[in-house]
Amino acid sequence: MTTPSTKTLRSFSFGGGVQSMAALVLAAEGEIDYPVFLFSNVGDDSENPATIAYVDAIARPYAEAHGIELATLHRVMVRSKETRTLYGELTREESRSLGIPVRMANGAPGTRACTMNYKIKVIGRELKRRGATAENPATLGVGISVDEIDRANNRRCEPHEVIDYPLLQLGLRRMDCMRVIRQAGLPVPPKSSCWFCPFRRPETWHEMRRSEPELFEKACQLEDTLNARRERLGKDHVYLTRFGQPLREAIPDGVDPLFDLDDLTDGLCDSGWCMT
């Protein structure tokens, strides 16, 4: 018989989006076995505000009502014990690193450390704190659905984790996940990501400019801040879209795209740790 000290920990990487919320409902209904959901919050100043609101108002009460632990984690520096946010790190005056996959002048994404530092390592540290080891690794569910199967990547995990894809095993697509959520009597959550993520699709930026102009302007100001720093360092400008232009010019006001750019796959983060 397995003792509590050696029992395999089963947890789910909760991003606050459609797939993650569907997994929470499935766990509550006993369809999948994940008693713990871990939400690695990159910062209330960094996550999509609508995601934070949904997690607090919908996901957390639902989890509590069904006996599921939904724990919020933050990046805490080991030595200083300081809690960091991604936006705060990007805008620190002394910061020289970008850390997010900004687009270079040719449209190619730059190096990204945000997923590793604010998602993978944070959750990995928490699993280790809860007793996971290389000899007895935790099972960590990731919310990738069948229509995003190319994002499944077993390499991006810690030694004391085994990545699992329960939505793939159930053959669920994103639309199926929406149905699962609605059938539970819950509203479908908005797409989850940082509001300044360079992997956001053009239509998402257009929608932000239309419906959240203040947040869009804040993203423009962040881009300005990053480029002012790069100028001081003698480096080329970088951008939050693949168009090689400042965000204000790349996403003009009052212009609707001729087709649904949200259906394009170019540039989507393929790690499986964000936007779920």
Name the residue ranges covered by the structural domains of the chain.
10-194, 200-264
pLDDT in tens, 88-131: 999 998 787 788 999 887 777 777 889 999 999 999 999 999 99
The pTM assigned to this predicted structure is 0.89
Identify the residue whose tokens are 């509001």: 195
The structure tokens listed for 32 are 């999948």
Range of weakest confidence among 27-31, 242-246, 271-275: 271-275
CATH architecture entry for 10-194? 3-Layer(aba) Sandwich (3.40)
Of 93-102, 152-161, 196-205, least confident by mean pLDDT is: 152-161
Q: Token pair of 272, please? A: 């499986």
Looking at every residue in the chain, the average pLDDT score rounds to 89
Higher pLDDT, 108 or 237: 237
Confidence class for position 61, pLDDT limits 50, 70, 90: very high
SS3 content of the chain, % helix, strand, coil (to 5): 40, 10, 50
